[in-house]
Amino acid sequence: MLAWVRAALVLVALLFVPGLRDSFEPPKAAVVRAAGLALLVYVATARRRGAPPRRTGMDAAIAAWLAIEALATLASRSPLVSAIGEPMQREGLVTSLGLAGWYVATRATHGVAAAGDDAAAGDRAIGTLGWAIAAMTVAALYALAQGAGWDVFRWTGSAVYGPGGAIERPSATFGHPNLLGVAGAAAAAAALALAIAAPRRRAAFAIAAPVIALATLATLSRAAWLGLAIGAAIGAVLAVRAATAVAGANRRGVMIGGAIVVAGGALAAMGWGARLAARFADLLAPTGGSGASRIEIWRAALAAWRARPWLGQGPDTFALVFHRFQTAAYWRVEWAGLPYHAHSVVLHALATRGLLGAAVMLGACVSAALAARRAWRARPASRAAIAAIVAALVAVAVAGQLGAFGTAGALWMVLGAALLASLGGDDAATPDAAPERRPPLFALAAAAIVAFAMAALGVADIASSGAARAADLALARAREGDAAARLEARDAAIRAARRSPWDDAYPRLEAEADLGVAVAGGDAAAALAAGERAARRALTLEPERVENHEQLARLLAARAAMGDTAALAAAEAEIDRVRAGAPMNALMLGGCARLELLLGRGDRARAIAAHVDSLYPERAPALPELR
């Protein structure tokens, strides 16, 4: 089981699948769900020899979080989305159960009873951290190669910085530099603490710490910088106290600091000095640049929480409800953006899990602090590991106040919490205290079945995302005049919808492709009918999503324009739903105005256009054809 935990840590850090709509977060979430749920079932069904780990406050916090997650899913705006998650990130109840499986498996394999004694427990925790740090070192080297312009892949949609987006920020195997930054801050802070105080392999940690720290700097993520600085500082202080020879610890700290300075000089020589300085200036002016858009996202998150204060809108529903709560100012600083996360774990918890979820999160933080203090006092032989764990947790927690965790960041939090709970418990080494009640074969078979089922779900996710990506590319070619690409897009969208029949994004894509076929000519009536069936299927899956109503409105308006009078009233009703669900979305509102023109309702079109112009007077007129 210990090998499963460590192997999955490496996979989450390094796994990505090119050719998908999102090549990074969904595959990582698939690993968390498959491995985590299998581990959860294994721990639940295997009765191992020895006394079970003593229950701690952290265990209670994890159990309470799952209970709130389940309640919030049941009360969600969209229980289906909250259960399985959005296809672009899969942050939902199933993933939370997977993370819980990682927690209980780590607890079962890293306590004193499992390891044998205090020193062995500390060594085992350091070994697990070492696997995670090694994986992050590989990712960091890839990020530094990207920063130097040596990426073998050609990614689209990469995050950029600077005038005109001239600087491409490295993201390595994480898909976004902010997510790389969170995991990098945790790994670098932990590696620094272990380089100072670990009883063995200090040289390896001393090499990993500056490499990961430099990659974290290169992400230009201000949240990650703060997390790294505070986490590394706290970890270094604790590590020096944990080291048996303080003078030697100080020398190692100086050597690591010197390595960071030398490598930083190399970054400056590669042209990164000015970029880092400019981004640091942004850190001192948090309300400018991207900070201004983040403030507006926070305002929307607070509005979403106020609308449903106790259990929030539901897990992974932030993008679903964002249109409803978006401020007009948000699009002035980040035009056409749609965030999937509130860019603050506290505000995200409030918006999606309500006050109860935020209270449990606060309780988990208190439990972690108490467990760290108890472990520090009770396990002097494990203090190097405790210093590294605390450093990583602080780094992730600080970075998370200004950004998103991502799957890897959440896993670092779960790993740190489980290790602290294990080292801070009162486990005793009693390997023969209780007989085994069920044979391991039963537990292995149950875990294998769950792992296979969740892996199949992950493969379906990946296959549908790949087909959707092919449909997106074909639609792009169709807009440039490639008539054959419209049929190709429809076929790819149909494949995506069949492989993931629980996701509304793919039938909506199918409806868009059908509308394109109808507009291009041929049997328009048949294409519109097929598109309407697909759009209604998307609405059946997710009636709260404004984009589904928008797509159905387009199809109905096209039918009405062809003389189908029965579609006219239905099109008007869908247009009204779009306007009510996205009152600040200029693109959707402008589309509604054009549909009204198509339906011959010039007065309604002018009213919508006037509203858009009042929201964004600095933009071009919403309907220039009416001017």
Contacts of the segment 604-613: beta carbons below 8 A, 24+ positions apart: 608/579, 612/586
Rounded mean pLDDT, 146-165: 77
Could you tell me the sign of the dihedral formed by the alpha carbons of 163, 165, 171, 176, in that order? positive
pLDDT of residue 433: 37
Per-residue pLDDT band for 158 (boundaries 50, 70, 90) equals confident
Q: Which residues pair with 363 in a beta bridge?
A: none
Q: Are 298 and 347 in contact (CB under 8 A)?
A: yes
Q: What is the mean pLDDT of the chain?
A: 88
Ramachandran class of 76: left when φ > 0, alpha when ψ lies in -120 to 50, beta otherwise: beta
Q: Are 471 and 496 in contact (CB under 8 A)?
A: yes
pLDDT of residue 62: 95
Per-residue pLDDT band for 40 (boundaries 50, 70, 90) equals very high
Paired tokens of 431: 């390997």
- What Å distances lie between residue 233 and 230, 238, 410, 413, 431, CA to CA? 5, 9, 22, 18, 39
Task: Tokens 């925790």: give the residue.
Answer: 125
Paired tokens of 471: 């449909």
- Residue 17 pLDDT greater than 90, yes or no: yes
Rounded mean pLDDT, 68-82: 97
Q: Are 12 and 408 in contact (CB under 8 A)?
A: yes
The secondary structure of the chain in percent helix, strand, coil, rounded to multiples of 5, reads 75, 0, 25
Q: Are 6 and 450 in contact (CB under 8 A)?
A: no
Closest CA to 117 of 391, 403, 380, 311: 380
Q: Rounded CA gap, 627 and 617, in Å?
A: 14
Residues 6 or more apart whose CB falls under 8 angstroms from that of 356 comprise 68, 71, 72, 310, 311
Q: What is the DSSP letter of 493?
A: H
- What Å distances lie between residue 307 and 64, 344, 623, CA to CA? 23, 18, 33
pLDDT of residue 166: 63
141-168 burial, b if ≥16 CB within 10 A, otherwise e? ebbbebbeeebeeeeeebbebeeeeebb
Q: Which residue ranges make up each domain of the chain?
A: 2-12+20-158+167-438, 466-584
Rounded mean pLDDT, 457-483: 93
Q: Rounded CA gap, 9 and 136, in Å?
A: 10
Q: Rounded CA gap, 409 and 37, in Å?
A: 18
- Residue 430 pLDDT greater than 50, yes or no: no
Paired tokens of 13: 């850090």
pLDDT tens per residue, range 471-530: 999 999 998 888 889 999 999 999 999 999 999 999 999 999 999 999 887 689 999 999
Give me the CATH topology for the region 466-584: 1.25.40
**What count of Cα atoms within 13 Å lies in the side-chain half-sphere of residue 215?**
34
- What Å distances lie between residue 163 and 160, 221, 258, 504, 531, CA to CA? 9, 17, 33, 37, 41
Phi, psi values for residue 46, rounded to 5°: -90, 125
Angle at 316 between CA 313 and CA 320, to 5 degrees: 65
pLDDT tens per residue, range 272-281: 556 666 665 6
Q: Of 116-120, 140-144, 401-405, which one has max mean pLDDT?
A: 140-144
Angle at 107 between CA 101 and CA 110, to 5 degrees: 130
Per-residue pLDDT band for 261 (boundaries 50, 70, 90) equals low
- Residue 297 pLDDT greater than 90, yes or no: yes
Q: Rounded CA gap, 71 and 96, in Å?
A: 13
pLDDT of residue 268: 57
Rounded mean pLDDT, 373-384: 92
pLDDT of residue 428: 43
Task: Tokens 């997977």: give the residue.
Answer: 98
Rounded mean pLDDT, 586-615: 94
Closest CA to 218 of 240, 185, 250, 189: 185
Closest CA to 20 of 549, 406, 461, 364: 461
Environment class of 18 (CB within 10 Å of its CB; exposed 0-12, middle 13-18, buried 19+): exposed
- Residue 439 pLDDT greater than 60, yes or no: no
pLDDT of residue 444: 87
Per-residue pLDDT band for 432 (boundaries 50, 70, 90) equals very low
pLDDT of residue 521: 75
Q: Are 482 and 472 in contact (CB under 8 A)?
A: no
Paired tokens of 103: 């927690």
Q: Rounded CA gap, 293 and 623, in Å?
A: 26
pLDDT of residue 251: 55
425 or 435, greater pLDDT: 425
Helix (H, G, I), strand (E, B) or coil at 412: helix
Residue type, 238: L
- Residue 625 pLDDT greater than 60, yes or no: yes
- What Å distances lie between residue 508 and 39, 477, 540, 555, CA to CA? 36, 19, 11, 11
**Consecutive H or E run containing 230:** helix 222-242
| DSSP string for 540-571 | HH-TT-HHHHHHHHHHHHHHHHTT-THHHHHH
Lowest mean pLDDT among 53-57, 92-96, 424-428: 424-428
